[in-house]
Amino acid sequence: MGNCCNNADNSALQTEAEEIIAFTGKEKTISILQEVQKRKGYLPEALLCEIARLTGIAISDFYGVATFYSQFSFTPLGKYVVKLCNGTACFVSGADLLYETLCDFLKIKNNETTPDGLFTIETVACIGCCSLAPVVMIGDRLYGKQTPSGIRDLLQEIVTLESAGNSDGGKV
Ligand code: FES
């Protein structure tokens, strides 16, 4: 992260930071980060710096916590976050092939977002549905026993819905 915390003259940023602090309190670093992530979909550096300025929490504390937990992201996520389980059961059931298919179809890699802002790929540890391996989650929906052609069809379905302008945001 670069040098930040020179945003005091940005009143919109300050207002947003104050709203977040009013909601979470000044001391709970994780709660603040969760609220920022929830509101913005990621952790914008300028906003974190403004919150650090207002709370007195060291910006390094925010980064220390945020890099420890996978729930936080420093870059904007796509509208559809495609989580591919890479746990043992999924791995031995072909998660690597699914990963190749995802990368191939979306032209991005793990933790990247498509230029149109539609998809992000995230590989994750076991999500507790090993009997359905290999497992993919898109938004909050789980797809078990996936195959490369199945995942391609799912992605294509989303692309088609989005081009028609009638998607419901992650619930295909
Ligand atoms: S290893 Fe994938 S759900 Fe458990």
Contact 136, 146 (CB under 8 A): yes
Of 49, 54, 61, 45, give the one whose Cα is nearest residue 23: 54
Local structure of 8: helix, strand or coil: coil
Q: 131 forms bridges with which residues in the sheet?
A: none
pLDDT, mean of residues 27-47: 92
pLDDT tens, position by position, 147-171: 999 999 999 999 999 988 766 555 4
Contacts of residue 34, defined as CB under 8 A and 6 or more positions apart, other chains included, come to 24, 71
pTM of this structure? 0.69
For ligand 1, the distance from its centroid to the CA atom of residue 154, given in whole angstroms, is: 20
- Ligand 1 atom 1: the closest Cα is on which residue? 87
Q: Which of 96, 82, 86, 100 is nearest to 155 (CA)?
A: 82
Rounded distance from Cα 87 to ligand 1 centre (Å): 5
Q: Are strands 136-138 and 80-85 parallel, antiparallel or unpaired?
A: antiparallel
pLDDT given for residue 27 in this prediction: 86
Which amino acids bring their CB within 6 angstroms of ligand 1?
85, 87-90, 126-130, 133, 135
pLDDT at 2: 47
- The Å distance, Cα 94 to ligand 1 centre, comes to 11
For residue 133, the ligand 1 atom closest to its alpha carbon is 2
Kindly give the distance from the C-alpha atom of residue 127 to the centroid of ligand 1, in angstroms, as a whole number: 5
Average pLDDT, the chain: 89
Domains and CATH numbers, the chain: 11-68 (no CATH), 80-163 (3.40.30.10)
Kindly report the three-state secondary structure assignment for every residue of 92-152: HHHHHHHHHHHHHHHCCCCCCECCCCCEEEEEECCCCCHHHCCCEEECCEEECCCCHHHHH
Ligand 1 centroid from CA 88, angstroms: 6
* Position in ligand 1 atom list of the atom nearest CA 132: 3
